[in-house]
Structure 1
Amino acid sequence: MCGIVACTGAPEVGRVLLDALSRLEYRGYDSAGIAVTGAADGRSAVLRTTFRVDDLQRRLDHWQPGLPATTGVAHTRWATHGEVSVDNAHPHTDCSGRLAVVHNGVLDNVLELRAELGRAGHVLTSQTDTELIAHLIEGRLGGFPLRRAVEETIGCLRGSWALAVLDGATGELVVTCHGSPLVVAESERGVFAASDLAAIAPWVERYRIVEDGDVLDLAPGLPWWRHGMAVRPPASIASTLRGTDLTRGVHPDFMAKEIEQQPEVVAEVMTTWGPSVAGDLWPSFGLQVPRHLTIVGCGTSLHAGRAVAQVTARLGGIPYSAIEASEVATTTTVPGSLAVVLSQSGETADVLRAVDVLHQRGHPILALTNNPHSALARQAQAVMLCQAGPEIGVAATKTFTAQVIGGTAMGLSLLAAARLVDRSAVRRRVAELSGVPDLLAYAIGAARRSVPDLVPALLDSPGFVFLGRGSSRVFADEGALKLKELTYRWAESHAAGELKHGPLALIETGTPVVVLDDGSERLAANIAEVRARGARVISVGPEQATIPARTSTTALARGLDWLGPLETVVGLQVLARELAVALGRDVDKPRNLAKSVTVE
């Protein structure tokens, strides 16, 4: 879950690298570092910090080796092996200081490699797995090109990696990957490699994906090797990222921007997929009509998958199971079930491991992702794109609504193809979905007006309980996840009917209980139960709720019962963000979390 970037051929490469690295910081922000050519005696010049990238940017003007250099690597870290410290920050060097390595991923055979290097006399100065790679390459470098030494080294590694290796003596740069994403690109600004296209998007129009096991010199023409043989670089892909996608604009943080973008995102999803839902969308996947769905994802993506599966079950009677990706290997799945696998990035390590298991069990896989060129998309039999655009805030917002709406469009198409729902009825549902952007826009505005007045009374609350019934439950789960991610306060989500089976013990005077209000008598009874014990009830939903999400002025604005109360989620997002801001949290970069979870 780290971010790496490498560049050659750019004047004042240090500034270029740190500019790119600032756009990768969502992948990890425990520490950061940079290495460039130009140090004395052929060493790589290294600068590291346990602060964020802006600390390196402040120090760069006084870092003499970094000013004239044209080749270098940079890294922003999410700690796995070793505590957060300067010694554990990347880049890591070999014994001579000649080689500098940055790494995204995690090695499994660390103890074995440490023992090997110790016997060979290498001196290790960090707790990381990455430093081992630098010393392993050092031991294989004598008399060989750097590319050959890297090839031999990765044959000794077990785990996942995206690597950029800098030779400070020669200025060579070599990159490779296995189980961790890496893209490369050439432009007038230089030759680049990065964990994510967003890092280098302002300077490149096309890019190439590095496949597992590929090794290449980061140099003009991109000399490329696969299985030890020189090959032509793969076809380039046009970048669709816009400069405005990667900036906050007028918003105070990316999360605020991405909450506001949700109506626009849903409109884009419906413009893209709506016309084909009742017709050729499902046939285009080339999949048989399933009798059962297996929903697989992590965190927010799993919540979105459950919301989608509830729709196909409610409207068409298709049964489903929902499984955390990390639990797939130890969970029995229904033979022949269609696996609907959700991942915003398409690079989530637990998800990719689950895909391997699902393939072994013979499950066809339909990927629901925001990244058409991701590992998940490449391994699935069919892909449904979410059309959300880049999401920089670590806590997912617009990608959740995009997954729910995109997945619902897919589900409706499945029901039409299976003749479980009449096509004319499917077209009516699609027309209703086209009104969701207006519904979300109203809910965002209502939350902006109502939530700030609630926050002062919640600042000292150590924890929160979220309640929902039926189709509301999964959205309550998502609201609780957002609040705990952003505020660092505990938040539990429960089915409202389960209160008396344990959760009611948590309720005392002042405990905030966030209720997704469906207006039912049974839920009213649950609300009375917590109020009788002194709870501070925060209702979300109808016009008279504490946080309104719907208005009674039009039929559509009263919500789509068959979809579930998707509109309530934006109020829960605003609540989590406003409380986090008031508590002084960094809402774009919550502690201990990173955006693209590429390690298990």
Structure 2
Amino acid sequence: MCGIVACTGTPGAGRLLLDALSRLEYRGYDSAGMAVSVTGDPRSAVLRTTFRVDDLQRRLDRWSPGLSATAGVAHTRWATHGEVSVDNAHPHTDCSGRVAVVHNGVIDNVLELRAELTGAGHTLTSQTDSELVAHLIERCLTQTSLRAAVEAAVQCLRGAWALAVLDSASGELVVTCHGSPLVVAESEQGVFAASDLAAIAPWVDRYRIVEDGDVLQLAPGLPWWREGVLVEPPSSVASTLRGTDLTRGLHPDFMAKEIEQQPEVVADFMATWGPSIGRKLWSPFGLAMPRHLTIVGCGTSLHAGRAVAQVAARLGGIPFTSIEASEVAATTTVPGSLAVVLSQSGETADVLRAVDALHGRSHPILALTNNPHSALARRAQAVMICRAGPEIGVAATKTFTAQVVGGTAVVLSMLAAGGVLDRSDIHRLVTQLESVADLMAYAIGAARGSVPDLVPALVDSPGFVFLGRGPGRVFADEGALKLKELTYRWAESHAAGELKHGPLALIEHGTPVIVVDDGSDRLAATIEEVRARGARVLSIGPEQATIPARTSTNAHGLARGVDWLGPLESVVGLQVLARELAVALGRDVDKPRNLAKSVTVE
């Protein structure tokens, strides 16, 4: 969600900060700003806007502090406390203007801190929780160092935070975090901190992860304190981000690029992990064969988890329960169940809170994530990395496919280790899983050919109904979510058999009904029911479907599909449909309104 970046030790810090902010735009934001320290001036120079980062760029060219400064902090804000306004945009300063703070996360004890600070004579100029941190630091700074003042301030906080604090009187920068991601790095260009490695990736080859409670000075050598004691910085991690990962290339937007990357993602995953699927993959996890699965995630990740759990149920008879991460604390779980927790970023706040609850109930936790160094990966007993590569578009596409394929590899390995599948079964199933890359490639080409002609008849539709049955239901759910995210039109997904139990009332002449078609007679009867009431039916599935996703083996040498996996290839047509319709409606498909890529606040 919010993005923070800080740098020091480099001339023209303002330009570097804005360059970094531009790579955080994909996370979603509604305002942005930066603060720098200028030699000889004890006050921070602050520049803020409620427009895009490029507005800051235009203004920076006329803003001399940012051009000459060697230290600064910057921020993209996704509003939680307070409306979208310049006053509420970050960075926030203390009463004197000496301390500038950028913050990612949410402070829970806002009301009591606000009352305490105003009662002590502090003047607050925003509605935010973040401004309070600057004033908490201010009251300690006259008596101690910036690092000690930050340590004292965070002792007063409840909630989650990643903080970068600039003392313009000294030019010092201090960073810390609790429950919100933060990385730091050194390079020839300077010393950097960021909430997302993508912000600083062009300048660094290695980075370090800041653990909860760590406090460090952003300076050469990275002076690092843990529990108040000066310690050696933790080991650095090699960055795997490539320059091309952060650019659109020849594609019109990141979503188009990432949809087309899905066959490559599947092929790369299978080339890496395919030979290990079986006992070899499962044994290092150190987990017992489960008798029940608890699937936990949010949005697209929860849908991917349900698709994976259905594979375990179909092939191994293992029952499962799926729970939204935000509801885990209030939901009774099956004792001893293996919790399969999914998060693309591994930093989703609701998911991490759910992990705490699951740990409290002694559930073993297997994480499916795209980030091997994330908080989720560090808290889980076992981790499967899904190898999707960076995903910049806010609406998840290739990470969904990667989670389904990665989770399926784990399920096959689990069933092999438990004796449910023998070696010949695994060989056959892995061969079929390898065919998914080609199936996805065919589905992309078919969707490109069929979807654009469908869009003109759909742009005026106020809402959509999605239907699926059996293995197709979860993909219908994902299709409805994508359409809502990108077009801002309502979209409901239902089991086809539930239509007569209420949802049929939505159907009138012209209502678009998108069907994930499994070719069954029962689904065909449902399609006829909605057609009889004037619905415009669009099917996704076999060659004769409105949006083909599968073809015959004889005609093209491809498998008809992987029945035990479910119609994963159908998600491509659903993604393309949502994107094409959104483009026709003039939406920003990479940055849907009100949404953020990494939801690091609850």
Q: Confirm or deny a common fold (TM above 0.5).
A: yes
Deviation track 1:291-341 (CA, whole Å, cap 9, x = no partner) reads: 111110000000000000000100110111111111111111111110000
Deviation track 1:105-164 (CA, whole Å, cap 9, x = no partner) reads: 000000000000011101111100000001111111113110010000000000000000
Correspondences of 1:90-489 after superposition (within 5 Å): 90-489=90-489
Q: How far, CA to CA, are the matches of 1:382 and 1:250 in structure 2?
A: 38
TM-score (norm. length: structure 1): 0.99
Shift of 1:24: 1.0
Q: How far, CA to CA, are the matches of 1:499 and 1:556 in structure 2?
A: 33
Q: How far, CA to CA, are the matches of 1:537 and 1:28 in structure 2?
A: 34
Q: What is the SS of the residue equivalent to 2:73? A: strand
Q: What is the SS of the residue equivalent to 2:279? A: coil
Tell me which residue corresponds to 1:507.
Answer: 507
Tell me which residue corresponds to 1:590.
Answer: 592
- The answer to which of 55-64 and 371-380 deviates more is 55-64
Q: How far, CA to CA, are the matches of 1:176 and 1:232 in structure 2?
A: 16
Letter in 2 for 1:131: E
Letter in 2 for 1:266: V
Tell me which residue corresponds to 1:14.
Answer: 14
Shift of 1:423: 2.1
Q: How far, CA to CA, are the matches of 1:38 and 1:146 in structure 2?
A: 17
Q: How far, CA to CA, are the matches of 1:404 and 1:596 in structure 2?
A: 19
Tell whether 2:496 aligns with 1:496. yes
Tell me which residue corresponds to 1:51.
Answer: 51
Cα distance, 1:513–1:40 mapped onto 2, change above 3 Å: farther
Letter in 1 for 2:538: I
Shift of 1:27: 2.1
Q: How far, CA to CA, are the matches of 1:594 and 1:434 in structure 2?
A: 32
Letter in 2 for 1:369: T
Q: How far, CA to CA, are the matches of 1:97 and 1:319 in structure 2?
A: 58
Q: What is the SS of the residue equivalent to 1:125? A: coil
Report if aligned partners of 2:50, 2:84 keep a CA contact under 8 Å in 1: yes
Mark the runs of 5 or more structure 2 residues left unpaired by the alignment: none
Q: How far, CA to CA, are the matches of 1:336 and 1:379 in structure 2?
A: 18
Tell me which residue corresponds to 1:84.
Answer: 84
Deviation track 1:233-256 (CA, whole Å, cap 9, x = no partner) reads: 001111111111111111111101
Tell me which residue corresponds to 1:560.
Answer: 562
Deviation track 1:448-469 (CA, whole Å, cap 9, x = no partner) reads: 1111111111111000000000
Q: How far, CA to CA, are the matches of 1:249 and 1:362 in structure 2?
A: 46
Tell me which residue corresponds to 1:575.
Answer: 577
Cα distance, 1:41–1:15 mapped onto 2, change above 3 Å: closer
- The answer to which of 84-93 and 556-565 deviates more is 556-565
Q: How far, CA to CA, are the matches of 2:258 and 2:405 in structure 1?
A: 16
Q: How far, CA to CA, are the matches of 1:233 and 1:368 in structure 2?
A: 28
Deviation track 1:259-305 (CA, whole Å, cap 9, x = no partner) reads: 00000001111111110112310101111111111110000000000
Report if aligned partners of 1:452, 1:578 keep a CA contact under 8 Å in 2: yes
Letter in 1 for 2:383: V
Report if aligned partners of 2:551, 2:558 keep a CA contact under 8 Å in 1: no
Shift of 1:558: 1.1
Q: What is the SS of the residue equivalent to 2:559? A: helix
Q: What is the SS of the residue equivalent to 1:558? A: coil
Mark the runs of 5 or more structure 1 residues left unpaired by the alignment: none
Q: What is the SS of the residue equivalent to 1:396? A: coil
Report if aligned partners of 2:438, 2:558 keep a CA contact under 8 Å in 1: no
User: What is the aligned-residue RMSD (CA, Å)?
Assistant: 0.9
Q: How far, CA to CA, are the matches of 1:126 and 1:376 in structure 2?
A: 33
Deviation track 1:457-512 (CA, whole Å, cap 9, x = no partner) reads: 11110000000000000000000000000000000000000000010000111110
Report if aligned partners of 2:174, 2:218 keep a CA contact under 8 Å in 1: yes
Shift of 1:28: 2.8
Q: What is the SS of the residue equivalent to 1:96? A: coil
Q: What is the SS of the residue equivalent to 2:139? A: helix
Shift of 1:583: 0.6
Q: What is the SS of the residue equivalent to 1:368? A: strand
Report if aligned partners of 1:23, 1:246 keep a CA contact under 8 Å in 2: yes
Q: How far, CA to CA, are the matches of 2:483 and 2:156 in structure 1?
A: 42
Shift of 1:169: 1.3
Tell me which residue corresponds to 1:25.
Answer: 25
Q: How far, CA to CA, are the matches of 1:58 and 1:545 in structure 2?
A: 49
Q: How far, CA to CA, are the matches of 2:559 and 2:40 in structure 1?
A: 68
Q: What is the SS of the residue equivalent to 1:233? A: coil
Q: What is the SS of the residue equivalent to 2:528? A: helix
Q: How far, CA to CA, are the matches of 2:8 and 2:362 in structure 1?
A: 44
Q: How far, CA to CA, are the matches of 2:4 and 2:448 in structure 1?
A: 37
Report if aligned partners of 1:39, 1:65 keep a CA contact under 8 Å in 2: no
Report if aligned partners of 2:49, 2:86 keep a CA contact under 8 Å in 1: yes
Report if aligned partners of 1:483, 1:491 keep a CA contact under 8 Å in 2: yes
Tell me which residue corresponds to 1:36.
Answer: 36
Q: How far, CA to CA, are the matches of 1:466 and 1:555 in structure 2?
A: 30
Q: How far, CA to CA, are the matches of 1:10 and 1:288 in structure 2?
A: 52
Q: How far, CA to CA, are the matches of 1:39 and 1:8 in structure 2?
A: 13
Tell me which residue corresponds to 1:3.
Answer: 3
Report if aligned partners of 1:36, 1:46 keep a CA contact under 8 Å in 2: yes
Shift of 1:41: 3.6
The percent identity for this pair of structures is 83
Q: How far, CA to CA, are the matches of 2:285 and 2:163 in structure 1?
A: 35
Deviation track 1:409-446 (CA, whole Å, cap 9, x = no partner) reads: 00000011111122211111101111111110110111
Q: How far, CA to CA, are the matches of 2:277 and 2:45 in structure 1?
A: 56
Report if aligned partners of 1:487, 1:579 keep a CA contact under 8 Å in 2: yes
Report if aligned partners of 1:482, 1:573 keep a CA contact under 8 Å in 2: yes
Q: How far, CA to CA, are the matches of 1:10 and 1:551 in structure 2?
A: 57
Q: What is the SS of the residue equivalent to 2:494? A: strand
Q: What is the SS of the residue equivalent to 1:44? A: strand
Report if aligned partners of 1:467, 1:476 keep a CA contact under 8 Å in 2: yes
Q: What is the SS of the residue equivalent to 1:186? A: strand
Report if aligned partners of 1:39, 1:45 keep a CA contact under 8 Å in 2: no
Q: What is the SS of the residue equivalent to 1:481? A: helix
Letter in 2 for 1:119: G
Q: What is the SS of the residue equivalent to 2:32? A: strand
Structure 1 stretches of 4+ with a deviation exceeding 4 A read none
Deviation track 1:181-234 (CA, whole Å, cap 9, x = no partner) reads: 000000001100000111111110110000000000000000001111111100
TM-score (norm. length: structure 2): 0.99
Letter in 1 for 2:100: A
Report if aligned partners of 2:24, 2:196 keep a CA contact under 8 Å in 1: yes
Q: How far, CA to CA, are the matches of 1:41 and 1:368 in structure 2?
A: 49
Deviation track 1:369-390 (CA, whole Å, cap 9, x = no partner) reads: 0000000000000000000010
Deviation track 1:60-103 (CA, whole Å, cap 9, x = no partner) reads: 10011111111000000111001111110000011111111000
